[in-house]
Amino acid sequence: MSATHALRPAPAEVPTSAPVGGAGLRPHVTIRGLSKRFGEAVIYDKFDLDIPRGELISVFGPNGCGKSTLINMIAGLIPLDEGQVLFDGMLLSEIKFGYVFQNYREALFPWLRAFDNIAYPLKLAGVGKSERRAQVEKLVARLGVRLDLNKYPYQMSGGQQQLVSIMRALVVEPEILFLDEPFSALDYEMTLFMREQLQKLFIETKTTTVLVSHDLEEAVYLADRVLLLSRYPARVADFVRYDGARPRTDVTLSDPDFVRTKAHCLEVFQREVRRA
Amino acid sequence: MKRLEPFLPVVGVIGLLAVWSIAVHSGFVDPVLLPPPKAAFDALVKGMGGVLGFDFVRTVERTVWATLIAAVIAIPLGIVLGSSERLYRSLEFVIDFFRSTPASAMFPLFLVLFGVGDKTKISVAAFGAMLVILFNVAYGVMNARKTRLLAAKVMGASRLRVLFDVMLLESLPQTFVGLRNGVSLALVIIVVAEMFIGSQDGIGHSVFEAQQLFEMPRMYAAIFAAGALGYGLNLLFLLIERRFVHWSGR
């Protein structure tokens, strides 16, 4: 816990994060000594981070700083050069997690109906057919989603497809959920709708969630904490807490605390951009 | 106007028949070389009920066998080659070389191997079709969307599951492209083989024999039968594709 603290630059006057796990909870994910290079470029060099349990963390930073690389490494999509990522002291292979891709069109299986797409991770886990059906139906009921799951992905709108994609990630009841710019391929109307869906879902499940976003307003609006990264080699530029009550609405966007937090994040971001 | 749109394809057919009739009746073309459409059509109807019909069935049989053999060999092989980029790259030149070699140039070799008969015709056609199918299947597997493979992997799918649950299905649209090209090529090779490699039947034999006997309406009838067969086979594969690879191109 102190590691995060030590890495954080002197907090600005905005009420930034309390120490992670301050309530006596252990952090959910501990990242230690993470290093990654792509050719000559050092993206991460001995990077440390603690991700608190049951919170929604937005990751924001300059273009190409390695936002997606970070969650891809945590989720095991790309290998680390060095370092260690532990989930409650366990390895990735020992836990259940969900991952949502930016490109839903290429992440879903077009030969399966939406229902079978959602049930696919259960099938991989060896869950029987009737049990799969029961679990998907339970998830649908819990999320209150109104979708015709007999459709094929290509018969659905972009937002619906991404919703199916998120449900596929949630069906295994993951301990942690990763989303890589999940709404950036959607039009604005659908993006707003999907933000609400994600928030509802988070309130409902309280699953530790790591969301990469390229939209600062979205990052703050959805987050309990915003992880601001520097240009590569990426450091934690700030790990800003935002306590706005949920469910957050349009009113939240003009709430002084929200505005202040967002302004602070922007300031840190611009400082990091100029540093180059 | 909108209601007439389904009939647009007929316009070309009517146009062709009109040009043909005018060419014959104006005396512009020797009616012995180009009989009137009606004579060719009558020969087609009469022939399909008799000898030409039998020849048609023989050609279908050979083409189906050739395509079937080609598919049975090429699809599994293509999947194996496609799932290992290194393996494919090391064989790519050989495949491309023989794919570019006119299959008809292989006739003498296959004649030595299999003698005069159906075996030679079918095996040359299968050889040609196989390379086309192989190439397409391998490319279909290799070009499987990386995100989709990654998605399966991140959900915990083993390599074998990824192969069967994702790669195989991802390659299906391209496999059907290969099958359609393969069956067309097989038909071309079979018809040529029926003309020139001591054949007693088949559409190719029918065209050749009619020409030798100077029975022009019968020759045109046989040509149209070959055309209809080629078009029909292509259409058949398209329909199968639409049924089983419903996501293709979406």
Structural domain count, chain B? 1
In whole angstroms, give the CA distance from residue B139 to residue B133: 10
Residue A63's pLDDT band, with cuts at 50, 70 and 90, is confident
What residues have CB less than 8 Å from B79, skipping those under 6 apart?
A: B137, B138, B141, B163, B167, B168, B171
Does B16 fall in a domain? no
Residues of B in Cβ contact (< 8 Å) with A75: 154
pLDDT of residue B30: 85
In whole angstroms, give the CA distance from residue A262 to residue B1: 59
Q: What is the ipTM metric for this complex?
A: 0.81
pLDDT of residue A25: 62
Residue A187's pLDDT band, with cuts at 50, 70 and 90, is confident
Does B101 fall in a domain? yes
Which tokens go with A191? 């993006």
What is the distance in angstroms between the Cα of A188 and the nearest Cα belonging to chain B? 23
H or E segment and range at residue A160 = helix A158-170
What is the distance in angstroms between the Cα of A134 and the nearest Cα belonging to chain B? 19
* Residue range of the domain that includes B76: 39-244
Does B10 fall in a domain? no
Q: Coil, strand or helix: which one is B37?
A: helix
- Residue A124 contacts B, CB cutoff 8 Å: yes
Pick the residue with more confidence: A18 or B13?
B13
Mutate to test the interface with B, among A73, A106, A180 (most CBs of B within 10 A): A106
pTM summary value: 0.81
pLDDT at A21 over 60: no
Give the full edge-to-edge strand order of the sheet including A208-212.
A97-100, A176-180, A208-212, A56-60, A225-229, A236-241
Residues of A in Cβ contact (< 8 Å) with B167: none
The 8-class DSSP code of residue B134 comes to H
CB contact under 8 A, A109 and B161: no
CB contact under 8 A, A106 and B148: yes
Q: Which chain B residue has its CA at the smallest distance from A102's CA? A: B147
In whole angstroms, give the CA distance from residue A181 to residue A137: 27
What is the distance in angstroms between the Cα of A247 and the nearest Cα belonging to chain B? 30
Does B7 fall in a domain? no
Does B30 fall in a domain? no
Residue A204's pLDDT band, with cuts at 50, 70 and 90, is confident
Does B28 fall in a domain? no
Residues of chain B with pLDDT under 50: none
The 10s digit of each residue's pLDDT in A113-148 is 999 999 999 999 999 999 999 999 999 888 777 889
The 10s digit of each residue's pLDDT in B17-54 is 999 999 988 888 888 888 989 999 999 999 999 999 99
Does B197 fall in a domain? yes
**Residue pair B206/B55 in contact by the 8 Å Cβ criterion:** yes
Angular region, A233: left φ>0, alpha ψ -120 to 50, beta rest: beta
CATH value at residue B78: 1.10.3720.10
In whole angstroms, give the CA distance from residue B175 to residue B168: 10
In whole angstroms, give the CA distance from residue A262 to residue A103: 27
Structural domains of chain A sorted by starting position, each given as residue range(s) with its CATH number in brackets: 2-95+175-275 (3.40.50.300), 103-174 (no CATH)
CB contact under 8 A, B154 and A99: yes
What residues have CB less than 8 Å from A218, skipping those under 6 apart?
A: A58, A183, A191, A195
In whole angstroms, give the CA distance from residue A198 to residue A252: 16
**Residue pair A125/A116 in contact by the 8 Å Cβ criterion:** no
* Percent of chain B whose predicted confidence (pLDDT) is above 70: 100
**Residue pair B189/B103 in contact by the 8 Å Cβ criterion:** yes
Q: Which chain B residue has its CA at the smallest distance from A171's CA? A: B155
Residues of A in Cβ contact (< 8 Å) with B154: 75-77, 99
Does B214 fall in a domain? yes
| Residue B164: count of CB within 10 angstroms of its CB | 13
Biggest CA-to-CA distance, chain B: 75
The 10s digit of each residue's pLDDT in B66-87 is 999 999 999 999 999 998 889 9
- Residue A111 contacts B, CB cutoff 8 Å: yes
